[in-house]
Amino acid sequence: MQELVRSHVKPEIQVFANPEALTQAAATKFVRQANQAIQARGRFTIALSGGSTPKSLYALLATQPWRSQIPWKQVYPFWGDERHVLPSDPKSNFRMTQERLLFQVPIPHENVHRIKAENPDAQAVAVKYEQELKQFFQLGAHQFSQFDLVLLGMGANGHTASLFPNTDAVHEQSRLVVASWVEELNTHRITLTPPAINNAHEIIFFVTGEEKAAMLKAVLEGQYQPDRLPAQIIRPTQGKVIWMVDQAAASSLSTAVL
Ligand code: 6PG
């Protein structure tokens, strides 16, 4: 399958005064996306991001008025990536989401599709999660998960999910999930692959903070070089991608992009 050449569709960039304003807007969008998906398809499938940026969003969704506006029983949470740790580990993306959201809202246990990263064999973790995706989305050969929404962050080194610079995962075009050895972290990470993400109806990046400004400019305005800037590999095949950023992260962007 040919790797998608850089899309010439300008990504939608929404700039907010501060992280609080961004989080409120993101929570409102989450509610809208969830209700639209449930109305259209009877369920809302979402791949959640890890890291610290989405923590405030997950916590806000568990509070009113957002909490009561989401039909939680039709929400099916997955994760875009996971660290190779126990679910009880402080580094676990699942644990972070559980504490801020899953423990607070009535999502049925059977709806939750955790990446079971406690298995010491990282490749086996990836295979199992991929099988779970194929079964849930009833995928045939060469078909990819089609999430209603994928939430992503971006690291200061340009990674997203666990697609890190100069790793094979960035160019994976047939698997849905891989276990990627990340030299700079000296660990495996389990991650959705670009096609498993790019087939989504909608992809939202959350990026805040001055420390991301240079990288955000490189990703959005620089040359297409996904090996160095993996976030650039995220180009939805048919859906849309929205960058929800705060002014600090957007401070280096040229007005032409905004
Ligand atoms: C993870 C995330 C990762 C994260 C970025 C940004 O497992 O850490 O999936 O891709 O989104 O590293 O992290 P921050 O939001 O903490 O800056």
Residue 52: CB within 6 Å of ligand 1?
yes
Mean pLDDT of 224-252: 96
Average pLDDT, the chain: 95
Residue 19: CB within 6 Å of ligand 1?
no
Between 2-6, 54-58, 124-128, 225-229, the lowest mean confidence (pLDDT) is in 2-6
**Residue 216's Cα: distance from chain center in Å?**
16
Query: Is-above-0.85 flag for pTM?
Result: yes
pLDDT at 7 over 90: no
Ligand 1 centroid to Cα of residue 154, in Å, is: 6
Ligand 1 centroid to Cα of residue 161, in Å, is: 7
pLDDT at 98 over 80: yes
Ligand 1: which atom is nearest the Cα of residue 153? 11
Question: Is residue 16 within 8 Å of 253, Cβ to Cβ?
Answer: no
pLDDT at 3 over 60: no
Rounded CA separation 248/229 (Å): 20
Question: Distances in Å between the alpha carbon of 7 and those of 11, 20, 129, 139, 224?
Answer: 9, 31, 29, 25, 10
pLDDT at 87 over 70: yes
Rounded CA separation 163/116 (Å): 18
CATH topology of domain 18-191+201-234: Rossmann fold (3.40.50)
Q: What confidence tier does 1 reach under pLDDT thresholds 50, 70, 90?
A: very low
pLDDT at 49 over 80: yes
Ligand 1 centroid to Cα of residue 140, in Å, is: 30
pLDDT at 239 over 70: yes
Q: What confidence tier does 258 reach under pLDDT thresholds 50, 70, 90?
A: confident
Residue 49: CB within 6 Å of ligand 1?
yes
CA-based max dimension of the chain: 47
Ligand 1 centroid to Cα of residue 95, in Å, is: 14
pLDDT at 8 over 60: no
Between 105-114, 156-165, 175-184, 249-258, the lowest mean confidence (pLDDT) is in 249-258
Burial of 9 (0-12, 13-18, 19+ CB in 10 A): exposed
Q: What confidence tier does 30 reach under pLDDT thresholds 50, 70, 90?
A: very high
pLDDT digits (tens, 9 = 90+) for 140-163: 999 999 999 999 999 999 999 999
User: What is residue 9's predicted lDDT score, i.e. its pLDDT?
Assistant: 60
Rounded CA separation 116/130 (Å): 11
User: What is residue 255's predicted lDDT score, i.e. its pLDDT?
Assistant: 78
